[in-house]
Copies of this chain bind each other. A is one copy, B any other.
Amino acid sequence: MPFPVRVGDKWTAKILVCLRDGPRRFSELQVPLARVTPKVLTESLRAMERDGMITRTVYDEMPPRVEYELTPLGHTLFEPLAASCAWNAEHGEAVARAREEHAQRV
């Protein structure tokens, strides 16, 4: 269950961090994001592209090369991302505890 304070979907924050220092290929993203399936990673990237956070560039090579890169708009997410990480670091345990207590009550 996601925390209340968040940026994008489950993988957006991790993808942002992977792209922070420059463009990456799909296969390069899969290394640090080993736990995400190709299908889910594709969906997350597509949602970020739809929202103008990243660009997807296909290079006409053999085999074709596809790179993902943060846009200036994408880079603006690091500030609210830091705020949400700070909130989750400070209050995440309290939310988890509340969820446990709630689960026992109902």
Contact = CB atoms under 8 A, between A and B. Distances in A.
Interface residues of A, number: 28
Contact of A6 (B6, B73, B94, B97): B6
A80 interface: yes
Interface in A14-57: 49-53
B52 A95 contact: yes
Contacts of A80: 5, 80, 83-84, 87
A5 B95 contact: no
Given A79-B83, A83-B80, A94-B73, A49 B7 contact: no
A77 B4 contact: yes
B99 A73 contact: no
